Amino acid sequence: MQADPNQVTTELIRSLALANGLNIPEDRLEIVLEQYKAFLESVALLNAFPLDREAEPATTFSLTQEDAPGQPPERR
């Protein structure tokens, strides 16, 4: 279940912060509220992205000393 960004209030932000040991000053609550709403919207977009169940959760790139500077590493 995803949180609806339109349902998030400054009171909820304050409660979430306090539950995590943070105290957000009153003059920052509106800013944090907008940032949190943007975060929830981003999460919703990512969750809606069509991926197969077999899709890898992450792609890892690594450079070794053998790789020439400025050259992409060989696929392994």
Tens-of-pLDDT digits for all 76 residues of the chain?
A: 577 878 899 999 999 999 999 999 999 999 999 999 999 999 988 888 887 877 776 655 555 555 555 656 566 5
Q: What is the pLDDT of residues 23-33, one digit of tens each?
A: 999 999 999 99
Q: What pTM does this model have?
A: 0.62
Please list, in sequence order, all residues whose beta carbon lies within 8 angstroms of the beta carbon of residue 25, skipping any fewer than 6 positions away. none
Residue 61, pLDDT score: 52
Residue 49, pLDDT score: 81
